[in-house]
Amino acid sequence: MRNVELDLKKVGEIGGDFIIPAYQRGYRWNEEVRMLLDDIASVPEGENYCLQPIVVKKLENDSFELIDGQQRLTTLYLILNYLKTYLPRLNIKFSIDYKIRKDSKKFLTEIDFYNVKKKVSNIDELFINRAVQTISDWFERTPDANNAAIRMADKLNNKVSVIWYEIDSKEDATVLFTRLNIGKIPLTNAELVKAIFLSRNNGIDKRYQLEICTQWDSIENELHDDGFWGFITNKDSDDFPTRIEFLFDLMAGKRDDDRERLRTFFWFAKKTRSNEFMDKKIDLWKKVVENYQRLKEWFNDHELYHKIGYLIAVGQKTLGELINDSSKMTKTGFRKSLDELIAKSIDFGKDYQDLKYGNDDGNINKILLLFNVESARKNGDKTMRFPFWLHKTQKGGWSLEHIHAQNSEGLKTRQQWNEWLDLHVQSLRNINAEKNSELANEIESRNREGFSGDTFNSWFDKTIAAFGMESNLDYIDLLGNMALLGKFDNSALNNSTFDVKRDKIIEMDKQGSYIPVCTRRVFLKYYTPSEKNQLHFWGEDDRKAYLKAMNETLKPYLSIIGKEISHEY
């Protein structure tokens, strides 16, 4: 358990002698100097502004080893020194000394802001002089430099803070520096929030600190369960090196478009200073645990798992909104509200039989996803759950698959033509060897390099006709001919008939590929009554049975919005 001191310090409160050790590179900021000045100047009146962490290790007396943040702190030191040219009484309480550079402390102290072109003895002094020139130019371009200096000094003393992160004197600073800087790995919100609870000066005794550490590790480990993670969020786990940070983001209400990297930490830091938690910081941690336990309760509840998981997957509600809703309702009321939200998610403003591939793909996706989720939820085996994490991590994403072939538009090369024909020759013989043998023989004996696109299209149409039972293909792009499936890399397979796709899906299933339950059932003719079942086709009876199953499965939600999925053509 790292023993640290974490605080927010106004720039004007920073004091001591800061030693920059030899293992760090020298001063290299360039354009960043102007950006820092612009950021501070743009802070609205009356508002506070917080800079990134300054990581230090206490040495003797009032000196510190500066582990991280030396570019920022050096630049602040230069700005303050420039302000002294306007405000001689401005008090700078700290100094900086680059250990690898002889007389660097003296060089920084004696900078002449009116003569920055003097000869330098090393690369660090060159960059420092450039920074000084940038600072000088920035103020000179300001219409009223004197007032600008006064405003800047006031903000640095009273409004602008740094995150003060002081590690224990026994900790290896070199190891920490390497962890922070090799690969540019910054202190995360999670690490900073943890420091709030485990800091030496936070008022929480060692017994509670140990309890927090134990609970923290337990929560972090459980969040590494892909099933749990895939249930609570659509976010990529790779974006969260420490997954508990997701819970902190929820509590802080951090938006996806928030560009402030440490917004969550700032929220927790503010909370620990508020009247709400000032005397009982342990209560803030208990709130973290409470939110986590609520998510675990939902995850372990078969009904809530599927309903909440669906709402999060389609973006109907964020997890934070659902947590907030649940805190204001009875458990019965909350469950009822979930049904209403699900019903709202499939209320498209048009009849389901009018949904068409190419125009309504998003809505068709929602219907099919809900059909799969509800089919898993209503299964008698409570151990069968819809795997949201597999759904969200499907390689290549998901596509709306035509159960019966659509057309040959996606097949443009001779390689694709040959592959499609190879896939269908055997199936032609399986359907009706006597009737289709002539076509199968013609395709099989073709000159693989000597046929035209027109010839392929002719074979394609004849093959589709041999597989199809209907001349009217108006149904091709409608809901009854759609299923969810991971995107095929093979365009020939995308345009294949039911019979060929079924064989491929069975092969994929044997190999352990994830096939949504309803898609698997479609190609196994699960929904079609046995007396109307024909193995090789996807016909009208199949579509009717498929849509009827959808209507029955989704009826609780359809009744809320007064709709149904028609299974009559």
Q: Nearest-CA neighbor of 481 among 391, 364, 564, 346?
A: 364
User: Token digits for 257?
Assistant: 């478009």
Find all residues with CB under 8 Å of 161, minimum gap 6, and list them: 8, 9, 10, 11, 48, 49, 50, 51
Residue 186: strand, helix, or coil: coil
Q: Nearest-CA neighbor of 265 among 478, 88, 52?
A: 52
Separation between Cα atoms, residue 14 and residue 80, nearest integer Å: 12
φ/ψ region of 482 (left if φ > 0, alpha if ψ in -120 to 50, else beta) reads beta
This prediction's pTM: 0.75
User: Token digits for 286?
Assistant: 């208990």
pLDDT reported for residue 213: 86
pLDDT reported for residue 435: 80
The DSSP line for 276-298 is TTSS-HHHHHHHHHHHHHHHHHH
pLDDT reported for residue 203: 67
Q: Apex CA 535: angle with CA 398 and CA 417, to 5°?
A: 55
Question: SS3 sequence, 38-80?
Answer: HHHHCCCCCCCEEEEEEEEEECCCCEEEEEECHHHHHHHHHHH
pLDDT reported for residue 88: 92
pLDDT reported for residue 1: 42
Per-residue pLDDT in tens (0 to 9) along the chain, 569 residues: 456 777 888 999 999 999 998 888 888 999 999 999 999 998 887 777 888 889 899 888 889 999 888 999 999 999 999 999 999 999 999 999 988 787 888 888 888 887 776 677 788 888 999 999 999 999 999 888 899 999 999 999 988 989 888 887 777 777 777 766 655 556 788 888 888 787 665 667 778 888 888 999 999 999 999 999 999 999 999 889 899 999 999 999 998 888 788 889 888 888 877 666 555 678 889 999 999 999 999 999 999 999 999 999 999 999 999 999 999 999 999 999 999 999 999 999 889 988 999 899 999 999 999 999 999 999 877 778 999 999 998 877 788 888 887 666 667 888 888 888 887 887 787 777 778 888 888 888 888 888 888 898 888 888 877 776 555 567 888 999 999 887 765 555 677 778 788 888 888 888 888 889 999 999 888 998 877 667 767 888 888 999 999 999 999 999 999 999 987 65
Domain ranges for the chain, please list them: 4-187, 206-300, 348-404+468-569, 410-464
Residue 483, exposed/middle/buried by CB under 10 A (0-12, 13-18, 19+)? buried
pLDDT reported for residue 155: 92
Diameter of the chain measured on Cα atoms? 104
pLDDT reported for residue 118: 66
First-last CA distance in the chain: 67
φ/ψ region of 21 (left if φ > 0, alpha if ψ in -120 to 50, else beta) reads beta
Buried b (16+ CB within 10 A) or exposed e, 157-183: bebbbbbbbbbeeeeebeebbeebeee
Separation between Cα atoms, residue 125 and residue 128, nearest integer Å: 5
Long-range contacts of 436-443 (CB under 8 A, 24+ apart): 436/466, 439/463, 439/466
Residue 5: strand, helix, or coil: strand
Separation between Cα atoms, residue 271 and residue 251, nearest integer Å: 11
Q: Which residue has the tokens 């299974």?
A: 567
